[in-house]
Amino acid sequence: MDGALASLYGREKGRAKTADGGRRSAGLGASAPGVARWLGDIRTYFPSSVVQVMQRDAIDRLGLSALLLEPEMLEAVEADVHLVGTLLSLNKVMPETTKETARAVVRKVVEQLEKKLAQRTRATLTGALDRSARISRPRHRDIDWDRTIRANLKNYLPEYRTVVPERLIGYGRAAQSVKKDVVLCIDQSGSMAASVVYASVFGAVLASMRTLDTRLVVFDTSVVDLTDQLDDPVDVLFGTQLGGGTDINRALAYCQSRVTRPADTVVVLISDLYEGGIRDEMLKRVAAMKASGVQFVTLLALSDEGAPAYDRDHAAALAALGAPAFACTPDLFPDVMAAAIEKRPLPIPDMAEQR
């Protein structure tokens, strides 16, 4: 264990020197066999969660990204969301001999995420779609007691300490026709890798629900609509190109042009808001969509990591428009979408605590 840790953390990053005084990123050695042995060691001595962290650090500290282009290395690593992000960033330079192995690694992670996230997402959003339709003559099991009590507070009888519900408000039952349109607009800059992976999986889950019409758009300085690939999130991920610049305004212009039912549309922008396009136009588009009735949600990150880096000026400007920007873990995403669908306050983290 000590040897495996020392190989990665035993020297200050980038400060180790060769015998002739030159710098080198020492630790695991330059040969693929040396790295393969190290990968085997850490999987033997450490739990999976620790292995994933060490792999990520090895890629960052020792520049091992190039080795992921070799099928033998891919078969040896512990697959997780961050490894998928790294593979996607290498997609364009990946040799054909490695691509099938890379797709297998990505598919394994995607299937794990779908298994973890799909059931709760469908259950939460199905309930939200049912509740988003209000009826005035509900069956007993469909009564929305909270709204019914508030609507009948004027009928409170002090002597009986009760409310007489003259008017009942209930949940409707969603038909199988499309009830809501959802647009996921995802920033595919390099820093958003984990968010792209999670958003693609959620996009596929949402697309499988017949009561939602889901569109998935990715962007950097150009815009790509990947909606026709939503039946396979692996195809979606390999259709992205992590890295490059950012033009949020252009992406929102495309999304805005696809909105046909504003009052029944939820637009989710997933971005760190570092805008390379026209800032004022971006804000005008958000204001216009909200004014038309669109529910607009801004997620600075969709991942399990800590507080993300983001453009605070743009986040504050969006908040002033009534579109607060906040980070979201994958576990919380179904609740965020449910709140947006029902047009109730979003479960936004306490900003004072975040500071």
Tens of pLDDT along 39-77? 778 888 898 888 888 888 887 777 777 767 778 778 778
Residues 293-346: tens digit of each pLDDT: 999 999 999 998 878 889 999 999 999 999 989 999 999 999 999 999 988 889
Cα R_g (the chain), whole angstroms: 24
Per DSSP, the three-state class of 266 is strand
Residues 254-287: tens digit of each pLDDT: 999 999 999 999 999 999 999 887 889 999 999 9
Percent residues over pLDDT 90 in the chain:
41
Please give the structure tokens belonging to residue 292.
Answer: 């038309």
Of the candidates 34, 33, 9, 13, which has an alpha carbon nearest to the alpha carbon of residue 24?
13
Of the candidates 332, 354, 335, 353, which has an alpha carbon nearest to the alpha carbon of residue 345?
335
Please give the structure tokens belonging to residue 13.
Answer: 């990053």
pLDDT at residue 278, rounded to an integer? 86
Query: How many Cα atoms sit within 13 Å of 198 on the Cβ side?
Result: 23
pLDDT at residue 178, rounded to an integer? 63
| Cα distance between residue 219 and residue 277, in whole Å | 12
Per DSSP, the three-state class of 342 is helix
For the cut 50, the answer to whether the pLDDT of residue 14 exceeds it is no
Confidence label for 24 from pLDDT (cuts 50, 70 and 90): very low
The model carries a pTM of 0.73
Residues 181-213: tens digit of each pLDDT: 999 999 998 788 899 999 999 999 999 988 899
